Chains A and B, each alone.
Chain A
Amino acid sequence: MYEVIETVNLSKNFQDFWGRTKAKALDKLNLKIYRGEIFGLLGPNGSGKTTTIKLLLGLLFPTSGKIKILGSSPRSVVCKKYIGFLPEETYLYPYQNAQEALFFYGRLFGLSRSVCKKRVEDLLEMVGLNKARSRPLKEFSKGMARRIGIAQALINDPELVFLDEPTSGLDPIGTREIKDLILQLKERGKTVFLCSHLLSDVEDICDKIAILYGGKIRCEGTVEELLSKKTATQILLEDIPSPLLQELILWLENKGIKPSVEKPRERLETFFLNVIQQARMQQAPTSGATQGIKKENFFSQNTLAEKKEVNPVLAQLVQPVEEPKEACPPGMDQEIKQEEQNTSVDKILLDNLVSKKEIGKKISEEENKESTIAKEQSIKKDMIQRLLGNFMKKDQP
């Protein structure tokens, strides 16, 4: 594992004109973030989350300490090719329209016009702003601007994405979409650095979190480690008749276990999403953002392989990435998935090539990989034999 981000004793003080320290925003921050992780930096307002991101991007210079991003300094222009950034507020140009804005950011990465156009199309679709594409950004609501912000952060198909409170200003659907998008990024082996004070966001998607307060990390670890209650076990049952329940409780009490019994509540998020999903099915009109579409082929899988020459650390980062897992977000996603399976030609081709996989049966990753290799080998063998056969024929007419 190689660090994508590494900070050593990173400190930042804000000073006034006379050099007196006004605010200690960060105090000896030590972070190590590895490739493919979703890292969540949690903290109340003013705890130094944005300052950390600004330092990591070279927008601020550290008072002391060291930063390495993708193996180089945050000011390195080459490394910025592989970085995407969504600031805490979406700072857009009011006079551009959605399309122009994304095209502009794409061009800043040196993407060619045609590539840029293609990506802009995909991203607009992905963030659900296809219909608002030629409206000036000054007319956008906060959530719509946020979506543009997210799109611009992904325009270069980045390896490392910084998201500063990505869900602020977004409706629950947007929030869900962003979360799915982040998971999708992870599937593709990208690293995500996420700042938020919304605990549910972080809890749902992050692998690792750190809690920041007063510029210092107070607690750090994987979500599993930090949140699992080791002293309790939860059993979830279908609705059962009350006599049976009484019996069960009695049985448990006889065993010396005192259970607490309550009706589980649906999460508001799930409930809300279901309601909207129903409204959409009835095709209610809206002038805002529409549902974003998951673009399976937008993110590259292993782009770092082409980036070997960039710098040694990037070169080291070139290692096999896990096959995409089936992300299974709850609720409304079922339908989209259905659609996407029809459109994703590559995937179908791949599936046919790899194995006749039964729908519904989930092949474990190992199996999947093995069968791919086996199949590839058999195809190669086949081809070699055929070629050899041709030679034989030529030699011996």
Chain B
Amino acid sequence: MSAILAIAFKVLQEAKKTKPALLLFFFVIFLLFLFPFTLKSDGTLNGQIQLFIGYSLLILSLALYSNSIFFSVLSFTSEIKGKQFYLIDCKSISRWQFFVGKFLGMAILNFFALVFMGLILLFLILYIKETQGTAEERADVQEKIFTSYQGIEPHTSMEKLFSMVDKEYQKRKAENRLPSNMSEEEIKSQIKSQIQQQLQVIPYGYQRIWHFHNLPSGLKSSQQKIKLRYKIFLSDAGSSFLCKVYWQAGKGTNLYAVEDKVKAGEYYEFTFPSDTVEENNTLEVHFFHKDEKAGMIYFPIEKGIELFYPYGSFYGNYIKTLLLVYLLSCFLVALSLFASTFLTFPIAVFLGLFILFLGLIAPFLMEISSLGQGIENSEKEILWERIPDILSYAILQASFFIIPDFFYYAPLESLALGRYMTWSIVGESILKLILLRATLFSILGCFLFKHREVGKPLL
């Protein structure tokens, strides 16, 4: 253990005396200080802080990620290139211990760097919040950013849905409208999605009621505010058309009504007091369609309507965000060290940065790759004709294993939007990034390194 710690400690020593890392570090801090005065956004304090949080977190995490790659590779490969590793390898330390030592050193280094930069960032956020804008604006910021919200989707009664599906199925059967080439399951799931779509559509003159279940029990009496966020599409009107909407939250004496004009395809939200929640911790929300010119109103199934109630704190979210960034940086360290075990410095750094880059645009990659995916419903019957498809599918899957979606694992925007970050994402990160990916890369790296002739330069 003392040997591993010695290696880890030397990484820190190295970092302290290596200028590039320090320069990067100070550059980030400089940018952080500069941001509050350059970013103006929409003019409101809220917008400014949101933008500041979003940008500075992005810069901070990118700096940490690229530093993780650059410095891990440098620290590892320079030992071998400079032959200092000869003096280490002839001591009683295994190659895997060297690897683990380097990882540990980088993890500690990243931790301190992140804590340091994180504290500065937090200080700046609080500084802007306390000193800028009017009192009203500050209250707004307090409510929108410094309160963290947990989102919840409306409850759909599955029983009801299935009975509707059954009824429709029987009806079609009676009318002999069932397609012959599909099984009952397939037909039913088709009907189910059709019904779900239909439920989202509201014709003129109708209303739609949503129920939200399982709200926290203290919410009603907490005198806080609840937010409802929604997005609509219109069947008849153009994109610039402003549609009148009427909302009503709650029931009986605790009714809260809102009227607004909204554009199609954009998110809107309104807040209302938490005492609209009922005793059994449910909430009923009504929507009325009274705009004749709008045609039919349609709420998208995905995130068409979402309720947000205060849950957790900004600081909790902040720590979780930094933790997630930290876990990603540790994953990158493992990846870079792995690459260093068999590549030279520039190539290993290139590989690391390339994977970082792909990871940042992972959703985009997944989208294009899913467009081209034809493996399930391929028309080619003969096996060998399908081999290219299968191969490309396998390669894609493998790449997505190597390249995690960085913004999925560290959703930076949640913090600026005041969204509650669950522990489950932290747990998932630890499991999938560290225990699975980083460990696998480390094991592979140790194996390669063990079988490497370090006394000979790489070809």
The answer to whether A and B belong to the same complex is yes
The winner among B3, B94, B455 for most chain A CB atoms within 10 A is B455
CB-based contact B90/A85 at 8 Å: yes
The A103-152 residues at the B interface (CB cut-off 8 A) are 104-105, 107-112, 152
Complex Cα gap A105–B3 (Å): 9
Q: Are B91 and A59 in contact (CB under 8 A)?
A: no
Q: Does B131 contact A (CB under 8 A)?
A: no
Q: Is B459 in contact with A16, judged by CB distance below 8 angstroms?
A: yes
Contact string against A for B residues 67-109, beta-carbon threshold 8 Å, 1 for contact and 0 otherwise: 0000000000000001110111111111000000000000000
Within 8 A of A (CB), among B197-253: none
Residue tally, chain B, CB below 8 Å to A? 27
Q: Please indicate the chain B residues that have their CB under 8 angstroms from the CB of A91 in the complex.
A: 82-84, 86-87
B454 within 8 A of A: yes
Q: Which of A92, A95, A108, A152 interacts with B92 by CB under 8 Å?
A: A108
A72-99 vs B, CB cutoff 8 Å, 1 = contact: the mask equals: 0000011011011101010111011000
- Whether the pair B2, A107 counts as a contact (CB closer than 8 A) is yes
Say whether chain A's binding surface is mostly helix, strand, loop, or mixed.
loop
Give the number of chain A interface residues (Cβ < 8 Å). 35
In the complex the two chains form, is B91's CB within 8 Å of A80's CB? yes
**Cα distance A92–B91 in the bound complex, in angstroms:** 14
Q: Verify A17–B86 contact, CB threshold 8 A.
A: no
B-side contacts of A104, CB under 8 Å:
6, 10
Task: Answer yes or no: B14 CB below 8 A from chain A CBs.
Answer: yes
Whether A17 and B2, one on each chain, are in contact in the complex, defined by CB atoms closer than 8 angstroms, is no
Contacts of B454 in A (CB 8 A): 59
CA distance A119 to B94 in the complex (A): 23
Question: Complex: how many Å from CA A329 to CA B89?
Answer: 34
Is the C-beta of A317 less than 8 angstroms from some C-beta in chain B?
no
* A104, B454: Cα distance in complex, Å: 20
Within 8 Å of chain B (Cβ to Cβ): is A14?
yes
Chain A residue contacts of B2, Cβ below 8 A: 107, 110-112
Selected contact of A87 from candidates B7, B17, B83, B93, CB within 8 Å = B83
Given contact pairs A87-B86, A95-B14, A110-B2, A54 touches B92 in the complex (Cβ within 8 A): no
Most buried by A among B82, B89, B92, B93: B92
Asked whether A389 is an interface residue with its Cβ less than 8 Å from the other chain, the reply is no
**Is B455's CB under 8 angstroms from A54's CB?**
yes
Q: Point out residues on B near A: beta carbons under 8 Å.
A: 2-3, 5-7, 10, 13-14, 17-18, 82-84, 86-94, 453-456, 459
Give me 6 other A-B pairs in contact (C-beta within 8 A), A105-B91, A162-B90 excluded.
Answer: A87-B83, A89-B83, A92-B87, A108-B88, A110-B92, A111-B2
Query: Could you pull out 29 A-B pairs where Cβ atoms are within 8 angstroms?
Result: A58-B90, A59-B90, A60-B456, A77-B93, A78-B92, A80-B93, A81-B92, A87-B86, A87-B87, A91-B84, A92-B84, A93-B14, A93-B84, A95-B18, A100-B13, A105-B91, A107-B2, A108-B6, A108-B7, A108-B91, A108-B92, A108-B93, A109-B3, A109-B91, A109-B92, A110-B92, A111-B2, A156-B92, A162-B90
